[in-house]
Amino acid sequence: MDGTRDAFGPWPARLTWLLLPLVSGPALGDALNGASRPVQVMASVGLWVGWAAVLVATLVPTTVSLTALRVVAPAAVVAAGAALVAGDTSTADAVGLAGALAACLAAFWPGTGQVFIDGSSYGDERRMPLRVPGPVLAGPLVVVWGVAAAGVSAGPLLLAARQWVGGAVALAVGLPAAWFAVRAMHRLTRRWVVFVPNGMVVHDPLALAEPVLLPRAVVRSFGPAPADTTALDLTRGALGLALEIDVTPPVDLLLARTGREAAEAAEAGALLISPTRPGAVLDEARRRRMA
Protein backbone atom coordinates (compact mmCIF):
# COMPACT_ATOMS: atom_id res chain seq x y z
CA MET A 1 0.00 0.00 0.00
CA ASP A 2 1.15 3.52 -0.73
CA GLY A 3 2.86 4.70 2.47
CA THR A 4 1.90 8.31 1.78
CA ARG A 5 -1.76 7.55 1.28
CA ASP A 6 -3.83 10.52 2.41
CA ALA A 7 -0.82 11.96 4.27
CA PHE A 8 -2.45 15.37 4.63
CA GLY A 9 -6.04 14.26 4.13
CA PRO A 10 -8.54 17.10 3.70
CA TRP A 11 -6.60 19.49 5.93
CA PRO A 12 -5.00 21.72 3.27
CA ALA A 13 -8.45 22.47 1.85
CA ARG A 14 -9.99 22.89 5.31
CA LEU A 15 -7.33 25.20 6.73
CA THR A 16 -6.94 27.45 3.68
CA TRP A 17 -10.70 27.81 3.43
CA LEU A 18 -11.09 28.42 7.17
CA LEU A 19 -8.54 31.25 7.03
CA LEU A 20 -9.92 32.76 3.83
CA PRO A 21 -12.12 35.43 5.51
CA LEU A 22 -9.14 36.62 7.54
CA VAL A 23 -6.83 37.03 4.55
CA SER A 24 -9.31 38.04 1.82
CA GLY A 25 -12.10 39.68 3.83
CA PRO A 26 -10.46 43.11 4.27
CA ALA A 27 -9.78 43.46 0.53
CA LEU A 28 -13.32 42.45 -0.39
CA GLY A 29 -14.74 44.83 2.19
CA ASP A 30 -12.74 47.73 0.76
CA ALA A 31 -13.86 46.88 -2.76
CA LEU A 32 -17.53 47.07 -1.70
CA ASN A 33 -17.19 50.47 -0.02
CA GLY A 34 -18.25 52.33 -3.14
CA ALA A 35 -21.39 50.25 -3.70
CA SER A 36 -24.85 51.09 -2.43
CA ARG A 37 -25.85 49.73 0.96
CA PRO A 38 -28.26 47.10 -0.43
CA VAL A 39 -25.57 45.82 -2.81
CA GLN A 40 -23.07 45.70 0.04
CA VAL A 41 -25.46 43.68 2.18
CA MET A 42 -26.38 41.29 -0.63
CA ALA A 43 -22.76 40.73 -1.65
CA SER A 44 -21.67 40.23 1.96
CA VAL A 45 -24.47 37.75 2.65
CA GLY A 46 -23.63 35.84 -0.53
CA LEU A 47 -19.94 35.69 0.32
CA TRP A 48 -20.55 34.50 3.88
CA VAL A 49 -23.14 31.91 2.84
CA GLY A 50 -20.86 30.54 0.13
CA TRP A 51 -17.90 30.41 2.51
CA ALA A 52 -19.89 28.69 5.28
CA ALA A 53 -21.41 26.14 2.89
CA VAL A 54 -18.02 25.15 1.53
CA LEU A 55 -16.49 25.01 5.02
CA VAL A 56 -19.18 22.51 6.01
CA ALA A 57 -18.50 20.60 2.78
CA THR A 58 -14.81 20.25 3.68
CA LEU A 59 -15.83 18.66 6.99
CA VAL A 60 -17.77 15.90 5.22
CA PRO A 61 -15.57 14.66 2.33
CA THR A 62 -17.75 13.21 -0.45
CA THR A 63 -18.01 13.61 -4.21
CA VAL A 64 -20.77 16.22 -3.76
CA SER A 65 -18.59 18.14 -1.29
CA LEU A 66 -15.71 18.10 -3.78
CA THR A 67 -17.91 19.56 -6.50
CA ALA A 68 -19.06 22.32 -4.14
CA LEU A 69 -15.47 23.11 -3.16
CA ARG A 70 -14.22 23.20 -6.74
CA VAL A 71 -17.11 25.32 -7.95
CA VAL A 72 -16.81 27.97 -5.24
CA ALA A 73 -13.01 28.11 -4.78
CA PRO A 74 -12.34 29.73 -8.18
CA ALA A 75 -15.04 32.31 -7.38
CA ALA A 76 -12.94 33.38 -4.38
CA VAL A 77 -10.00 34.00 -6.73
CA VAL A 78 -12.16 35.99 -9.15
CA ALA A 79 -13.58 38.09 -6.30
CA ALA A 80 -10.12 38.75 -4.83
CA GLY A 81 -8.76 39.59 -8.27
CA ALA A 82 -11.61 42.01 -8.88
CA ALA A 83 -10.90 43.68 -5.53
CA LEU A 84 -7.25 44.02 -6.52
CA VAL A 85 -8.01 45.89 -9.76
CA ALA A 86 -11.04 47.81 -8.49
CA GLY A 87 -9.00 50.53 -6.81
CA ASP A 88 -5.52 51.39 -5.60
CA THR A 89 -3.52 48.25 -5.05
CA SER A 90 -2.74 47.71 -1.39
CA THR A 91 -1.04 45.08 0.73
CA ALA A 92 -4.46 43.82 1.84
CA ASP A 93 -5.45 43.29 -1.80
CA ALA A 94 -2.30 41.32 -2.55
CA VAL A 95 -2.68 39.21 0.60
CA GLY A 96 -6.33 38.60 -0.21
CA LEU A 97 -5.51 37.37 -3.70
CA ALA A 98 -2.69 35.17 -2.39
CA GLY A 99 -5.02 33.62 0.19
CA ALA A 100 -7.70 32.93 -2.42
CA LEU A 101 -5.13 31.35 -4.75
CA ALA A 102 -3.87 29.13 -1.93
CA ALA A 103 -7.41 27.96 -1.17
CA CYS A 104 -8.06 27.29 -4.84
CA LEU A 105 -4.82 25.35 -5.27
CA ALA A 106 -5.69 23.25 -2.22
CA ALA A 107 -9.14 22.56 -3.67
CA PHE A 108 -7.66 21.25 -6.93
CA TRP A 109 -4.70 19.45 -5.39
CA PRO A 110 -4.87 15.77 -6.46
CA GLY A 111 -4.65 14.64 -2.85
CA THR A 112 -7.81 16.60 -2.02
CA GLY A 113 -9.67 14.96 -4.88
CA GLN A 114 -8.49 11.55 -3.68
CA VAL A 115 -9.72 12.07 -0.11
CA PHE A 116 -13.11 13.49 -1.09
CA ILE A 117 -13.89 10.92 -3.78
CA ASP A 118 -12.79 8.03 -1.59
CA GLY A 119 -15.02 9.49 1.13
CA SER A 120 -18.00 8.14 -0.81
CA SER A 121 -16.61 4.59 -0.86
CA TYR A 122 -18.45 1.62 0.65
CA GLY A 123 -16.85 -1.13 2.73
CA ASP A 124 -13.62 -2.63 1.39
CA GLU A 125 -13.27 -0.50 -1.71
CA ARG A 126 -11.12 2.43 -2.69
CA ARG A 127 -12.09 5.07 -5.24
CA MET A 128 -9.34 6.93 -7.06
CA PRO A 129 -10.10 9.89 -9.36
CA LEU A 130 -9.42 10.17 -13.08
CA ARG A 131 -8.01 13.25 -14.79
CA VAL A 132 -10.28 15.74 -16.51
CA PRO A 133 -10.18 15.30 -20.31
CA GLY A 134 -7.80 17.75 -21.98
CA PRO A 135 -10.36 19.10 -24.48
CA VAL A 136 -12.66 19.97 -21.54
CA LEU A 137 -9.89 21.86 -19.76
CA ALA A 138 -9.08 23.78 -22.94
CA GLY A 139 -12.11 26.04 -22.61
CA PRO A 140 -15.52 24.41 -22.10
CA LEU A 141 -14.97 23.92 -18.37
CA VAL A 142 -14.24 27.63 -17.87
CA VAL A 143 -17.36 28.60 -19.80
CA VAL A 144 -19.55 26.20 -17.84
CA TRP A 145 -18.11 27.48 -14.57
CA GLY A 146 -18.78 31.06 -15.67
CA VAL A 147 -22.42 30.19 -16.37
CA ALA A 148 -22.74 28.71 -12.87
CA ALA A 149 -21.10 31.69 -11.14
CA ALA A 150 -23.01 34.32 -13.10
CA GLY A 151 -26.28 32.43 -12.82
CA VAL A 152 -26.13 32.43 -9.02
CA SER A 153 -24.81 35.95 -8.44
CA ALA A 154 -26.15 38.21 -11.19
CA GLY A 155 -29.82 38.12 -10.28
CA PRO A 156 -29.53 38.92 -6.56
CA LEU A 157 -27.01 41.71 -7.16
CA LEU A 158 -29.14 43.32 -9.86
CA LEU A 159 -32.19 43.22 -7.60
CA ALA A 160 -30.16 44.73 -4.77
CA ALA A 161 -29.18 47.52 -7.16
CA ARG A 162 -32.92 48.01 -7.88
CA GLN A 163 -32.61 46.80 -11.43
CA TRP A 164 -35.95 45.02 -11.13
CA VAL A 165 -36.48 43.85 -14.70
CA GLY A 166 -32.89 42.81 -15.29
CA GLY A 167 -32.71 41.13 -11.91
CA ALA A 168 -35.91 39.18 -12.46
CA VAL A 169 -34.75 38.01 -15.88
CA ALA A 170 -31.32 37.09 -14.51
CA LEU A 171 -32.93 35.03 -11.75
CA ALA A 172 -35.36 33.28 -14.08
CA VAL A 173 -32.65 32.40 -16.60
CA GLY A 174 -29.56 32.25 -14.41
CA LEU A 175 -30.63 29.88 -11.66
CA PRO A 176 -31.72 27.03 -13.97
CA ALA A 177 -28.62 27.58 -16.10
CA ALA A 178 -26.45 27.45 -12.98
CA TRP A 179 -28.15 24.23 -11.88
CA PHE A 180 -27.39 22.49 -15.17
CA ALA A 181 -23.83 23.87 -15.20
CA VAL A 182 -23.11 22.54 -11.71
CA ARG A 183 -24.58 19.17 -12.67
CA ALA A 184 -22.27 19.07 -15.69
CA MET A 185 -19.26 19.83 -13.50
CA HIS A 186 -20.36 17.17 -11.01
CA ARG A 187 -20.07 14.59 -13.80
CA LEU A 188 -16.34 15.35 -13.88
CA THR A 189 -16.15 14.59 -10.16
CA ARG A 190 -17.91 11.25 -10.64
CA ARG A 191 -15.07 9.76 -12.70
CA TRP A 192 -12.90 7.21 -10.95
CA VAL A 193 -11.40 3.76 -10.89
CA VAL A 194 -12.56 1.83 -7.86
CA PHE A 195 -10.83 -1.20 -6.37
CA VAL A 196 -13.30 -3.74 -4.99
CA PRO A 197 -12.69 -7.12 -3.29
CA ASN A 198 -12.94 -9.11 -6.54
CA GLY A 199 -11.21 -6.70 -8.91
CA MET A 200 -11.61 -3.16 -10.15
CA VAL A 201 -14.29 -1.04 -11.81
CA VAL A 202 -13.79 1.81 -14.26
CA HIS A 203 -16.55 4.34 -13.59
CA ASP A 204 -16.44 7.18 -16.11
CA PRO A 205 -19.73 8.64 -17.40
CA LEU A 206 -17.84 10.61 -20.06
CA ALA A 207 -16.30 7.51 -21.62
CA LEU A 208 -18.60 4.64 -20.63
CA ALA A 209 -22.37 4.38 -20.71
CA GLU A 210 -22.09 1.82 -17.91
CA PRO A 211 -19.25 1.08 -15.46
CA VAL A 212 -17.12 -1.90 -16.47
CA LEU A 213 -15.99 -4.53 -13.95
CA LEU A 214 -12.55 -6.08 -14.46
CA PRO A 215 -12.30 -9.15 -12.20
CA ARG A 216 -8.89 -9.79 -10.69
CA ALA A 217 -8.69 -13.13 -12.53
CA VAL A 218 -8.81 -11.51 -15.99
CA VAL A 219 -6.27 -8.71 -15.36
CA ARG A 220 -2.98 -9.92 -16.87
CA SER A 221 -0.95 -6.73 -16.48
CA PHE A 222 -1.44 -3.19 -15.24
CA GLY A 223 1.14 -0.43 -15.66
CA PRO A 224 2.25 2.63 -17.64
CA ALA A 225 1.06 2.48 -21.25
CA PRO A 226 3.73 2.11 -23.93
CA ALA A 227 3.94 4.79 -26.62
CA ASP A 228 2.78 2.39 -29.35
CA THR A 229 -0.18 0.96 -27.45
CA THR A 230 -3.31 -0.07 -29.32
CA ALA A 231 -5.47 -0.29 -26.19
CA LEU A 232 -8.95 1.21 -26.15
CA ASP A 233 -8.48 4.82 -25.04
CA LEU A 234 -10.86 5.80 -22.22
CA THR A 235 -8.82 8.87 -21.19
CA ARG A 236 -10.75 11.24 -23.49
CA GLY A 237 -7.52 13.11 -24.17
CA ALA A 238 -6.56 13.66 -20.52
CA LEU A 239 -3.08 15.04 -19.97
CA GLY A 240 -0.52 13.12 -17.95
CA LEU A 241 0.59 9.51 -17.65
CA ALA A 242 -1.86 6.91 -18.97
CA LEU A 243 -2.07 3.43 -17.46
CA GLU A 244 -2.83 0.34 -19.53
CA ILE A 245 -4.94 -2.53 -18.18
CA ASP A 246 -4.52 -5.76 -20.17
CA VAL A 247 -7.28 -8.32 -19.72
CA THR A 248 -7.78 -11.91 -20.93
CA PRO A 249 -10.33 -12.75 -22.18
CA PRO A 250 -11.45 -9.39 -23.65
CA VAL A 251 -14.25 -7.60 -21.84
CA ASP A 252 -17.48 -6.26 -23.27
CA LEU A 253 -18.33 -2.65 -22.57
CA LEU A 254 -20.67 0.09 -23.69
CA LEU A 255 -19.06 3.33 -24.77
CA ALA A 256 -20.81 6.57 -23.88
CA ARG A 257 -22.68 8.35 -26.63
CA THR A 258 -20.92 11.29 -28.28
CA GLY A 259 -22.97 14.08 -29.82
CA ARG A 260 -25.93 12.59 -31.60
CA GLU A 261 -24.43 9.12 -31.83
CA ALA A 262 -25.94 6.37 -29.70
CA ALA A 263 -23.97 4.41 -27.13
CA GLU A 264 -21.71 1.87 -28.86
CA ALA A 265 -20.94 -1.68 -27.75
CA ALA A 266 -17.28 -2.67 -27.89
CA GLU A 267 -14.92 -5.48 -26.94
CA ALA A 268 -11.45 -4.71 -25.65
CA GLY A 269 -8.46 -6.70 -24.50
CA ALA A 270 -6.70 -3.61 -23.13
CA LEU A 271 -7.92 -0.29 -21.73
CA LEU A 272 -6.25 3.06 -21.13
CA ILE A 273 -7.10 5.20 -18.09
CA SER A 274 -5.49 8.37 -16.74
CA PRO A 275 -5.70 8.70 -12.92
CA THR A 276 -4.78 11.93 -11.17
CA ARG A 277 -2.30 9.94 -9.04
CA PRO A 278 -1.05 7.04 -11.21
CA GLY A 279 1.60 5.99 -8.69
CA ALA A 280 -0.97 5.63 -5.92
CA VAL A 281 -3.25 3.64 -8.26
CA LEU A 282 -0.45 1.21 -9.11
CA ASP A 283 0.45 0.87 -5.42
CA GLU A 284 -3.16 -0.02 -4.63
CA ALA A 285 -3.24 -2.48 -7.55
CA ARG A 286 -0.08 -4.19 -6.24
CA ARG A 287 -1.56 -4.37 -2.74
CA ARG A 288 -4.55 -6.18 -4.23
CA ARG A 289 -2.31 -8.39 -6.41
CA MET A 290 -3.46 -6.83 -9.69
CA ALA A 291 -0.16 -5.36 -10.96
Write the pLDDT tens digit of every residue in 133-155: 999 988 899 999 999 999 999 99
Average pLDDT for 238-267: 88
Please report the pLDDT score of residue 262 as a whole number.
67
Per-residue pLDDT band at 7 (split at 50, 70, 90): low
Query: CA-to-CA distance for 200 and 154, rounded, in angstroms?
Result: 44
Query: CA-to-CA distance for 189 and 148, rounded, in angstroms?
Result: 16
Q: In the chain, helix, strand, coil percent, each to 5?
A: 55, 20, 25
Domain ranges (residues) in the chain: 1-120, 192-287
Per-residue pLDDT band at 260 (split at 50, 70, 90): low
Q: How many CB atoms lie within 10 A of CB 162?
A: 11
Residues 6+ apart with CB under 8 A from 56: none
